[in-house]
Amino acid sequence: MDYFFDKPIANFATRRVEAEEKVTGKGKYSAEYDFPNLVHGVFVGSTIPSGKIASLDLEEAKSIPGVIDIITHQNRPEVPGLKGDDAKFMFKLFHTDNIFFDDQPIALVLAETLEDATYAATFVKAEYSESNFNTNFHETKDSQEPEDIMDEKGSLESWEKAEFIVDQEFKIAMEVHNPMEPHATIANWKDDELTLYDKSQNVYGVQSQVAKIFNIDPDKIRVISEFVGGGFGSGLLVWPNTIAAAMASKHLNRPVKIVLTRPQMFTNVGYRPESWQRFKIGADENGKFLGAFHQAKHATSSHTGHTDNITGLTRKHYSFPNIKTEQAQIQLNISKPTWMRGPGDASGAFAIESAVDELSEKLNMDPVDLRLKNLSKTDMYGKPWSTNYLNECLQIGAERINWKQNRKSNPGEIKEGNWNIGYGMAVGFWNAGRKDSDAAIEMKPDGSIVVRSAMTDIGTGTGTAMQNMAHTFLGLPKEKISIELGDSDLPYAPTQGGSWGLSSLSGGVAAACKSLKTKLAEYAYGSKFIKGQGNLKLLKLDAKGIRMEDDSLEPVSYESIFSQNNIQVINIEESSSPGKEAEDYGFCSSAAHYVKVKVNQLTGDIKVLEMVSVADGGKIINNKAAANQIIGAAIGGIGMALMEEQKFDNNHGRLIGNDLAGYHFPCNADAPMIDVSFIDKPDYNRNPAGAKGLGEVGIIGCAAAITNAIYNATGKRMRDLPVTPDKIL
């Protein structure tokens, strides 16, 4: 197909376009904007997990100097979208005296300074009538049978008595996102227009949700999220801070800022829900998979649900003639979970990839060979893969860690003093999605351009990739290309999530670049030039002007283009959507993870010594940023496997600990140097850049690679994450 830009994107390891603003502190995160007359809001959370607010005593809090007002369910300003029983709780803030989870916001203290508001919040007194509650996932999960979530493929009976069967249960603890930047909002109403500085992965999403809640035209709301200090999925939805800030600003007719405290980050912005899985897999004596039966249950909130598609992966990367998947959500008196780092699949992969490892042992086959034998040839609907290099990922990874020589098939064979050494591996897989996305370009007479999109850059390198794409598509030197992002006044972009950001955005940027070339050619050479559009391919933008690569026409300077045509600026805006190819092919990104661990037989300590990740993310637009994503994801995988665990005190229905001192995650000393490499082959059926999503494939499968390595080191199967030292001993 003719994508017009037939040259692959140059793969530059350029520094980030926003690097200087970030490291000098010039770049502004949502909480860092200042306004005269700014009001500070601080949430007061409930101290029970279930029941009703019987009474509120606000007198003492209101008497603290600096306090302006306190919003509760008793005096909440009228907000149209918060009516109705079917509204989700997060939109029903201060709507009811019902308490659904511990630390649910019950009041917003508004004061002249953050200190005043924080201090006054400690004086808000609530009496409750408590109800029975339940926060215990594992004790409750058997109360609900999982249900079919997709049509069964083939039958369970046809293979469940096969000679080679693994049938095991797996558990994963609740994990929290907690990006470095806490969620924060500044809301500012002016007449009937609202501006929100809001930490988000999706400015258009916030705009449309808030418009619904306040029942106003989305065009009356501007959402700015120019710098985002990490998301991991916590920024995909609209949370109470956004609603409350907008509510309070309208109420006071002043700008209002709310920054969640670190403890509030554990209860107000979602998390990966605790889960249980059963995975049954069967194979014939040659290692051909016969069938999979995958059941999953996960915790969710009683007031508003969330489904993590834990069993979805079972239908994707392997070829199973028979598949049955079932899921259940277990409702508890807990805050709302949400998508987090490879949602669903990261959990599902732990079960699948652990079971496949166990099966390989039963079959007496190398686990890499077993996987290679069973990779799916089509997507779950039978469409051929546009590109799928999981096979290559597996083979390159095996070479890089020297799998065949280093790994011993008998567990516990390699010892160094009290330490046992083991090798393990697993794969990651993810739909390589693409969404509609627009982009705009503004060109000035000096030939400089600004490329604009509403998409946020959550640290993934979106802006840098846009610069790189515009540079490749146009030929224009990078110094002449600046980027603006993260503002709903800019052209439409989908959420920065699902690993589809760059894939989607490249369509808009490519379309805008093509359109800019067309415009410039028209201005320089007249409309005749445009007749044979193919010539545009030869048109290049350099620092001073445009020229034809084959010198078929005279070069023309930007200066003369602008002055001859009497224009001061050229403005382009273009839309893009997935093409017809999207219907003809299946799209995937994939990765193979290989790990070397050592396990101390006396203390149960586990150290990841080596990690090799080989990923297929299509054409890699920026090596450095892409590798950073995989490294970050792999470290998330170490956290999931060995450390991350948010526990409930089920007697009181609240979290045990709500800070980053008690919630363990890997630091530098816990992570080895991570060897990342890419297949780096374009998939032009996906988008004009040939890039497929990265990021999520980096974590999916990591935990199983580590537990498989622990098994290889110790002979102990770890099916309960995180694997803390006590589980080894």
Residues 215-254 that bind ligand MOS (CB under 6 A): 231-233, 236
Q: Which stretch binds ligand MOS (CB under 6 A): 94-102, 181-189, 338-346, 364-372?
A: 338-346
Contact 1, 7 (CB under 8 A): no
| Residue 233 beta carbon to ligand MOS: minimum distance, rounded to whole angstroms | 3
Residue 132 CB-density burial (10 A; 0-12 exposed, 13-18 middle, 19+ buried): exposed
Residue 593 found at the interface with ligand MOS (CB under 6 A): no
Of 567, 613, 620, nearest in space to 594 by CA: 613
Residue 693 found at the interface with ligand MOS (CB under 6 A): no
Residue 637 found at the interface with ligand MOS (CB under 6 A): no
Residues 342-381 that bind ligand MOS (CB under 6 A): 343
Q: Residue 230 or 412: which CB sits closer to ligand MOS?
A: 230
Burial 250-286 (b: 16+ CB within 10 A, else e): bbbebbbbbbbbeebbbbbbbbbbbbbbbbbbbbeee
| Residue 476 beta carbon to ligand MOS: minimum distance, rounded to whole angstroms | 31
Task: Name the H helices within 401-457.
Answer: 403-406
Q: Residue 459 or 463: which CB sits closer to ligand MOS?
A: 459
Q: What is the DSSP string of 267-284?
A: TSS--BPPEEEEEEEEE-
Q: Residue 92 or 341: which CB sits closer to ligand MOS?
A: 341
Measured CA to CA, the distance from residue 2 to residue 672 in angstroms comes to 43
Residue 340 found at the interface with ligand MOS (CB under 6 A): yes
Sheet holding 606-616, edge to edge: 414-416, 419-431, 588-600, 606-616, 674-678
Residue 341 found at the interface with ligand MOS (CB under 6 A): yes
Residue 109 found at the interface with ligand MOS (CB under 6 A): no
Q: Residue 340 or 393: which CB sits closer to ligand MOS?
A: 340
Binding mask 313-332 for ligand MOS (x = CB under 6 A): --------------------
Peptide bond into 722 cis (omega under 30): yes
Binding mask 495-524 for ligand MOS (x = CB under 6 A): --xx--------------------------
Question: What backbone phi and psi angles, to 5 degrees, belong to 304?
Answer: -155, 130
Other beta carbons within 10 Å of 165:
17
Q: Residue 241 or 708: which CB sits closer to ligand MOS?
A: 241
Contact 612, 401 (CB under 8 A): yes
Residue 586 found at the interface with ligand MOS (CB under 6 A): no
Q: Which stretch binds ligand MOS (CB under 6 A): 323-331, 337-345, 444-452, 649-657?
A: 337-345
* Residues annotated as part of the active site: 696
Binding mask 188-217 for ligand MOS (x = CB under 6 A): -------------x----------------
Residues in the chain: 729
Residue 329's DSSP bridge partners are 298
Q: Residue 236 or 439: which CB sits closer to ligand MOS?
A: 236
Residue 271 found at the interface with ligand MOS (CB under 6 A): no
Question: What backbone phi and psi angles, to 5 degrees, belong to 435?
Answer: -120, 170
Using CA atoms, how far residue 385 sits from 187, 316, 579, 583, 695, in Å, is 45, 11, 15, 11, 20
CA 278 to chain centre: 25
Residue found under tokens 């990006």: 179
Q: Residue 226 or 696: which CB sits closer to ligand MOS?
A: 696
Q: Residue 291 or 344: which CB sits closer to ligand MOS?
A: 344
Residue 723 found at the interface with ligand MOS (CB under 6 A): no
Other beta carbons within 10 Å of 74:
13
Residue 648 found at the interface with ligand MOS (CB under 6 A): no
Residue 270 found at the interface with ligand MOS (CB under 6 A): no
| Residue 349 beta carbon to ligand MOS: minimum distance, rounded to whole angstroms | 14
Contact positions vs ligand MOS (CB under 6 A) = 201, 231-233, 236, 339-341, 343, 497-498
